[in-house]
């Protein structure tokens, strides 16, 4: 049986948020795992899939989608019965999108300075300086989320939405980024609560088991 979607991804990346959402939506999908240690994301074959050379990329029945916020909201709209976004409230929908865009454009970028300094500079000394800055930059993002953006118990308050697996996925990297999780009890409570969901447990297992 042919699945409706194919997700191109690598483990321990933001693509986990999409795997979780595919499960939450009840979608039929296949996973195509890329090996970053072999630079699969820069291979000629993958660049035909996603010329950006990044993951994730989602093959849909009508074309390819990239960028996590776009993929998540597409799935929420494609599977309205799953109630993964406030589709009937334009302001709440935009507010959810604003949160996801902040994760993508600010938090994830701050995190990436720890291991991908080559995107912004050429000198090794610059990479080292970026790495030193990561705990402060990432911590500042979580301070804003903790104080102002995370409504609780879920990101948008009472309803669970596609913003929740996205925050959960990025929050997995807090400790590796040198940030003290004890400073963000609400974020950590959210991370623990999302981790207990059956769809999340299955998605985490699946991201490591799938073959390319």
Tens of pLDDT, residue by residue over 26-60, are 999 999 999 998 988 999 999 999 999 999 999 99
Angle between helices 163-171 and 68-78 in degrees, nearest 10: 150
Instruction: Indicate if 203 and 191 belong to the same structural domain.
Output: no
* Residues 23/203, Cβ–Cβ less than 8 Å: yes
CA distance 46 to 55: 10
Structural domains in the chain (count): 2
Structure tokens at 173: 């990297």
Is residue 167 within 8 Å of 150, Cβ to Cβ?
yes
The structure's pTM equals 0.95
Q: Token match 């970053």: residue?
A: 36
The domain that contains 55 carries what CATH number? 3.40.30.10
First to last CA, the chain: 18
Query: Does residue 57 contact residue 64 with C-beta atoms inside 8 Å?
Result: yes
Interatomic CA distance for residues 142 and 103, integer angstroms: 10
pLDDT of 2 reads: 61
User: Do the Cβ atoms of 113 and 137 come closer than 8 Å?
Assistant: yes
The C-alpha angle with vertex 161 and arms to 160 and 163, in degrees rounded to 5, equals: 120
Domain range enclosing 35: 5-83+199-209
Q: 203, exposed or middle or buried, with CB in 10 Å at 0-12, 13-18, 19+?
A: buried
Are residues 120 and 164 located together in one domain of the fold? yes
The label of the residue with tokens 């623990």 reads 192
- Do 63 and 99 belong together in one domain? no
Pair 67, 96 in one domain: no
- Same domain, yes or no: 55 and 69: yes
- Indicate whether 166 and 146 sit together in one domain: yes
Would you say 7 and 15 are in contact if contact means Cβ atoms under 8 Å apart?
Answer: yes
pLDDT in tens, the chain (212 residues): 468 999 999 999 999 999 999 999 999 999 999 999 898 899 999 999 999 999 999 999 999 999 999 999 999 999 999 999 999 999 999 999 999 999 999 999 999 998 887 888 889 889 899 999 999 999 999 999 999 999 999 999 999 999 999 999 999 999 999 999 999 999 999 999 999 999 999 999 999 887 65
DSSP-derived secondary structure letter, 212:
-
Say how many CA atoms lie within 13 Å of 179 toward its Cβ: 27
Indicate whether 170 and 182 sit together in one domain: yes
């Amino acid at each position: 049986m042919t699945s409706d979607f194919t997700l191109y991804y690598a483990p321990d990346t933001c693509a986990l948020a999409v795997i979780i959402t595919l499960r939450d939506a009840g979608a039929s999908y296949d996973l195509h795992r890329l090996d970053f240690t072999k630079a699969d994301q820069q291979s000629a074959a993958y660049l035909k899939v996603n010329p950006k050379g990044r993951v994730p990329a989602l093959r849909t029945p009508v074309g390819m989608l990239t960028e996590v916020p776009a993929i998540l909201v597409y799935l929420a709209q494609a599977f309205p019965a799953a109630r993964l976004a406030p589709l009937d409230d334009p302001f709440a929908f935009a507010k959810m999108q604003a949160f996801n865009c902040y994760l993508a454009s600010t938090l994830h970028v701050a995190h990436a300075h720890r291991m991908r300094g080559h995107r912004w500079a050429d000198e090794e000394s610059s990479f080292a300086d970026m790495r030193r800055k990561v705990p402060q930059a990432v911590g500042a993002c979580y301070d804003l989320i903790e104080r102002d953006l995370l409504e609780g118990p879920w990101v948008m308050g009472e309803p669970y939405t596609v913003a929740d697996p996205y925050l959960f996925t990025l929050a997995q990297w807090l400790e590796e980024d040198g940030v003290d999780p004890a400073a963000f009890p609400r974020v950590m409570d959210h991370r623990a609560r999302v981790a207990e969901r059956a769809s999340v447990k299955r998605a985490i297992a699946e991201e490591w088991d799938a073959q390319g």
